Amino acid sequence: MAETYSRELHRAGADATSRLARFRLLLRRYPLGAAGAFILVVFVLAAIFADAITLLDPLKTNAPEKLLRPGGGHWFGSDVMGRDIYSRIIYGARISLAVSLGATAIGSLLGVAIGLASGYLGGNFDLFVQRIMDILQALPLLVLALVTSAALGPSLQNTIIAIAIPMIPASARVIRANTLSLREAAYIEAAQIQGMSEWRIALRHILPNTVAPLIVLATAQLGSAILTEASLSFLGLGVPEPAPSWGRMLSDSAAEYMRTAPWLVIFPGAAISLMVFGTNLLGDALRDILDPRQRG
Amino acid sequence: MNRIWQNAAALLMVAGGAMAQTPKSGGIMKIYQRDSPASASIHEEATFSNQVPFMGIFNNLVLFRQDMPVNTPETIAPELADSWAWSDDKKTLTFKLHPGVKWHDGKPFTSADVKCTIDLLQNKLADKFRKNPRRSWYANVEAVVPNGDLEVAFKLGRPQMSMLSMLASGYAPMYPCHVSTRDMRTNPIGTGPFKFVEFKQNEVIRLAKNPDYWRRGKPYLDGIDFPIITNRATAMLAFIAGKVDMTMPTEVTQAILRDIKTQAPKAICKMVPTNVHINLIVNREKPPFDNADLRRAMALTIDRKAFIDILFEGDADMGGALLPGPEGIWGMPKAMLTALPGYSPDIAASRAAARALMVKAGYGPDKHLAIKVSTRNIPTYRDPAVILLDQLKEIYVDATLDIVETSVWFGKIERKDYAVGLNLTGNAVDDPDQAFYENYGCGSERNVTAYCSPELQKAFDAQSVETDVAKRRQMVWAIDTQLQNDIARPVIVHQRAGTCWSPDVHGYTQMSNSSYNGFRFEDVWLDR
Amino acid sequence: MTAYLVRRVGLMLLTLLGISIIIFVLLRLVPGNMVDILFDSAGMVDPAEKTRIAAELGLDKSIPEQYLVWISGLLHGDLGFSYVSEKSALREILPRIPVTARLALSAIAFAVLLGVPFGVISAVRQNSAIDYGLRVISLAGLSMPSFWLGLMVLMGFAALTGTLPVYTEAPKTTLDAVLLVAVPAMTVGFRSSALIMRLTRSAMLEVLRQDYVRTARAKGAGAGRVNFHHALRNALLPVITVIGLETAFLIGGLIVTETVFNIPGLARFLVESIRNRDYPIVQNLVMLTAFIVVMINFLVDLLYAALDPRVRLGA
Contact check, Cβ <8 Å, A138/C26? no
Smallest Cβ distance to B310: which of A59, A61, A241?
A61
Question: In one letter, which amino acid is C84?
Answer: V
Q: Is the peptide bond before A242 cis (omega within 30 degrees of 0)?
A: yes
CA distance B463 to B477: 10
Contact check, Cβ <8 Å, C43/B445? yes
Nearest alpha carbon to residue A26 among A295, A292, A289: A289
Nearest alpha carbon to residue A207 among A184, A179, A244: A179
CA distance B406 to B380: 12
Please give the pLDDT value at position B422.
Answer: 96
Q: What CATH number does residue A180 fall under? A: 1.10.3720.10
CA distance A64 to A78: 11
DSSP string, B24-80: ----EEEB-BSS--S-S-GGG--SHHHHHHHGGG---SEEE-TT-SS--GGGEEESS
**Structural contact between residues B391 and B384, judged by C-beta atoms closer than 8 angstroms:** no
C-alpha C304 chain-centroid distance:
20
Residues of A in contact with C274 (CB under 8 A): 146-147, 150
Please give the pLDDT value at position C209.
Answer: 74
Taking the Cβ of residue C18 and every Cβ of chain A, the question of whether any pair is shorter than 8 Å is answered with yes
**Structural contact between residues B45 and B37, judged by C-beta atoms closer than 8 angstroms:** yes
Query: For residue A4, is it within any domain?
Result: no
Query: For residue A6, is it within any domain?
Result: no
Taking the Cβ of residue C152 and every Cβ of chain A, the question of whether any pair is shorter than 8 Å is answered with yes
What is the CB-side half-sphere exposure of residue C247 using CA atoms within 13 A?
22
Contact check, Cβ <8 Å, A61/B405? no
Please give the pLDDT value at position C33.
Answer: 67
Query: For residue A130, is it within any domain?
Result: yes
C: neighbours with 3+ CB pairs under 8 Å? A, B
Q: Over the Cα atoms of chain B, what is R_g?
A: 23
Give the single-character DSSP code of B364.
Answer: B
Contact check, Cβ <8 Å, A256/B233? yes
A: neighbours with 3+ CB pairs under 8 Å? B, C
Asked whether the predicted pLDDT for residue C174 surpasses 50, the reply is yes
**Structural contact between residues B77 and B63, judged by C-beta atoms closer than 8 angstroms:** yes
The burial of A177, by beta-carbon neighbours within 10 Å (0-12 exposed, 13-18 middle, 19 or more buried), is given as middle
Residues of C in contact with A140 (CB under 8 A): 248-249, 251-252, 289, 293
What pLDDT digit, counting tens, does each position of B274-311 carry?
Answer: 999 999 999 988 889 999 999 999 999 999 999 999 99
Residues of B in contact with C168 (CB under 8 A): 32, 227, 229, 234, 238, 243-244
Asked whether the predicted pLDDT for residue B403 surpasses 80, the reply is yes
The burial of C21, by beta-carbon neighbours within 10 Å (0-12 exposed, 13-18 middle, 19 or more buried), is given as middle
Query: For residue A229, is it within any domain?
Result: yes
CA distance B171 to B128: 17
Q: What is the mean pLDDT of residues B158-168?
A: 92
What pLDDT digit, counting tens, does each position of C182-232 carry?
Answer: 889 999 999 888 888 888 888 888 777 776 666 766 666 666 666 666 666
Share of chain C above pLDDT 70, in %: 81
What pLDDT digit, counting tens, does each position of A56-89 carry?
Answer: 888 888 888 888 899 888 899 998 888 999 999 9
Residues of B in contact with C46 (CB under 8 A): 123
Please give the pLDDT value at position A9.
Answer: 52
Residues, chain C: 315
B: neighbours with 3+ CB pairs under 8 Å? A, C
C-alpha B337 chain-centroid distance:
22
Contact check, Cβ <8 Å, A260/B255? yes
Which residues are CB-contacts of C61 (< 8 A; sequence separation ≥ 6)?
A: C69
List A residues 89-148 in contact with B (Cβ-Cβ < 8 A): none
CA-nearest residue of chain C to B137? C44
Contact check, Cβ <8 Å, C255/A273? no
Residues of C in contact with A234 (CB under 8 A): 145, 147, 256, 259
Residues of B in contact with C44 (CB under 8 A): 132-133, 135-136, 445-446
For residue A151, the distance in angstroms to the closest alpha carbon of chain C comes to 4
Q: How many helices (H) and strands (E) does chain B have?
A: 16, 17
Q: φ and ψ at B482, to 5 degrees? A: -60, -45
Give the 3-state DSSP-derived string for chain A, with helices as H, strands as E and coil as C: CHHHHHHHHHHCCHHHHCHHHHHHHHHHHCHHHHHHHHHHHHHHHHHHCHHHHCCCCCCCCCHHHCCCCCCCCCCCCECCCCCEHHHHHHHHHHHHHHHHHHHHHHHHHHHHHHHHHHHHHCHHHHHHHHHHHHHHHCCCHHHHHHHHHHHHCCCHHHHHHHHHHHHHHHHHHHHHHHHHHHHCCHHHHHHHHCCCCHHHHHHHHHHHHCHHHHHHHHHHHHHHHHHHHHHHHHCCCCCCCCCCCHHHHHCHHHHHCCCCCCHHHHHHHHHHHHHHHHHHHHHHHHHHHHCHHHHC
Residues of C in contact with B204 (CB under 8 A): 169
For residue B240, the distance in angstroms to the closest alpha carbon of chain A comes to 12
**Structural domain tally of chain A?**
1
Smallest Cβ distance to A81: which of B258, B259, B387?
B387
Nearest alpha carbon to residue B289 among B419, B402, B433: B419
Q: Is residue C209 helix, strand or coil?
A: helix
Please give the pLDDT value at position B16.
Answer: 44
Pairing of the two strands B81-86 and B223-227: unpaired
Contact check, Cβ <8 Å, B44/C42? yes
Per-residue pLDDT of chain A (296 residues; tens, 9 = 90+): 444 455 555 555 444 457 777 777 777 888 888 999 999 999 999 999 999 888 888 888 888 888 889 988 889 999 888 899 999 999 999 999 999 999 999 999 999 999 988 887 888 999 889 888 988 888 888 888 888 888 887 789 999 999 999 999 988 988 888 888 777 776 667 777 777 777 777 777 777 777 888 888 898 899 989 999 999 988 888 888 788 999 988 886 677 787 788 899 999 999 999 999 999 999 888 887 876 444 32
DSSP string, B284-347: TTSTTTT-HHHHHHHHHT--HHHHHHHHHTT--B--SSSPPTTT-SSPPPHHHHHTSTT-SS-H
| Among B403, B404, B407, the residue to mutate for chain A (most A Cβ within 10 A) | B403
**Structural contact between residues B250 and B33, judged by C-beta atoms closer than 8 angstroms:** no
Contact check, Cβ <8 Å, A241/B231? no
Asked whether the predicted pLDDT for residue C311 surpasses 60, the reply is no
Share of chain B above pLDDT 70, in %: 96
Question: In one letter, which amino acid is B464?
Answer: S
**Distances, alpha carbon B190 to alpha carbons B29, B83, B129, C261, in Å:** 20, 20, 17, 35
Cβ neighbours, 10 Å, residue B212? 13
Query: For residue A226, is it within any domain?
Result: yes
Nearest alpha carbon to residue C17 among C75, C96, C57: C75
Residues of B in contact with A60 (CB under 8 A): 390
What distance, in Å, lies between the first and last C-alpha atoms of chain A? 11
Numbered residues of chain B with Cβ closer than 8 Å to any chain A Cβ: 231-233, 236-237, 253, 255-256, 258-259, 305-306, 309-310, 313, 377, 379, 382-383, 385-387, 389-390, 401, 403, 405
Contact check, Cβ <8 Å, A253/B383? yes
What pLDDT digit, counting tens, does each position of B466-507 carry?
Answer: 888 899 999 999 999 999 999 999 999 999 999 999 999 999
What pLDDT digit, counting tens, does each position of B30-80 carry?
Answer: 999 988 888 899 998 878 889 999 999 999 999 999 999 999 999 999 999
Residues of A in contact with C271 (CB under 8 A): 146, 235
Residues of A in contact with B310 (CB under 8 A): 61, 63, 66, 80-82
Q: What is the mean pLDDT of residues B199-215?
A: 93
Contact check, Cβ <8 Å, A146/C270? yes
Please give the pLDDT value at position A178.
Answer: 81
Which range has the top average pLDDT, A5-19, B256-270, B439-453?
B256-270
Q: What is the CATH number of domain C98-313?
A: 1.10.3720.10
CA-nearest residue of chain B to A79? B310
Q: What is the mean pLDDT of residues C60-70?
A: 86
Residues of A in contact with C258 (CB under 8 A): none
Pairing of the two strands B420-426 and B369-376: parallel
CA-nearest residue of chain C to B39? C85
Query: For residue A213, is it within any domain?
Result: yes
Q: Where does the pLDDT of residue C39 fall: very low under 50, low under 70, confident under 90, or very high at 90 and above?
A: low
Of C13-27, C79-93, C283-297, give the lowest mean pLDDT range: C79-93
Mean pLDDT over each residue of chain B, to the nearest integer: 90
| Among C36, C44, C94, the residue to mutate for chain B (most B Cβ within 10 A) | C44
CA-nearest residue of chain B to A81? B310
C-alpha A244 chain-centroid distance:
19
Contact check, Cβ <8 Å, C268/B202? yes
CA distance B282 to B288: 11
CA-nearest residue of chain A to C257? A231
Q: Where does the pLDDT of residue C82 fall: very low under 50, low under 70, confident under 90, or very high at 90 and above?
A: confident
CA-nearest residue of chain C to A279? C143
Domain of residue A176, residue span:
32-66+76-294
Q: How many beta-carbon pairs under 8 angstroms link B with C?
A: 126
Query: For residue A12, is it within any domain?
Result: no
CA-nearest residue of chain A to B394? A60
**Structural contact between residues A84 and A54, judged by C-beta atoms closer than 8 angstroms:** yes
**Interface ipTM:** 0.84
**Structural contact between residues A210 and C234, judged by C-beta atoms closer than 8 angstroms:** no
Contact check, Cβ <8 Å, A274/C143? yes
Smallest Cβ distance to A231: which of C145, C154, C275?
C145
Share of chain B above pLDDT 90, in %: 69
Cβ neighbours, 10 Å, residue A169? 24
**Distances, alpha carbon B330 to alpha carbons B320, B455, B474, B518, in Å:** 10, 20, 9, 20
For residue C162, the distance in angstroms to the closest alpha carbon of chain B comes to 7
What pLDDT digit, counting tens, does each position of A1-45 carry?
Answer: 444 455 555 555 444 457 777 777 777 888 888 999 999 999 999
Which range has the top average pLDDT, A57-66, B448-457, B477-486, C121-130?
B477-486
| Among A59, A65, A241, the residue to mutate for chain B (most B Cβ within 10 A) | A241
Rounded to the nearest 10 degrees, the angle between the axes of helix C63-75 and helix C2-29 is 140
Please give the pLDDT value at position C243.
Answer: 73
Residues of A in contact with C289 (CB under 8 A): 139-140, 143
Please give the pLDDT value at position C44.
Answer: 47
Comparison of pLDDT for A8 and B83, the residue scoring more = B83
Residues of C in contact with A223 (CB under 8 A): 142-143
Contact check, Cβ <8 Å, B306/A63? yes
For residue A92, the distance in angstroms to the closest alpha carbon of chain B comes to 16
Please give the pLDDT value at position B1.
Answer: 42
Q: Is residue C207 helix, strand or coil?
A: helix
Q: What is the mean pLDDT of residues B225-254?
A: 88
Asked whether the predicted pLDDT for residue C307 surpasses 90, the reply is no
CA distance B236 to B251: 9
Query: For residue A20, is it within any domain?
Result: no
Give the 3-state DSSP-derived string for B207-274, with helices as H, strands as E and coil as C: EEECCCCCCCCCCCCCEEEEEECCCHHHHHHHHHCCCCCECCCCCECHHHHHHHHHHCCCCEEEEEEE
**Structural contact between residues B2 and B8, judged by C-beta atoms closer than 8 angstroms:** no
Task: For the full predicted model, state whether its pTM sits above 0.90.
Answer: no
Q: What is the mean pLDDT of residues C102-125?
A: 89
What is the maximum span of chain A, computed from C-alpha positions, in angstroms?
77
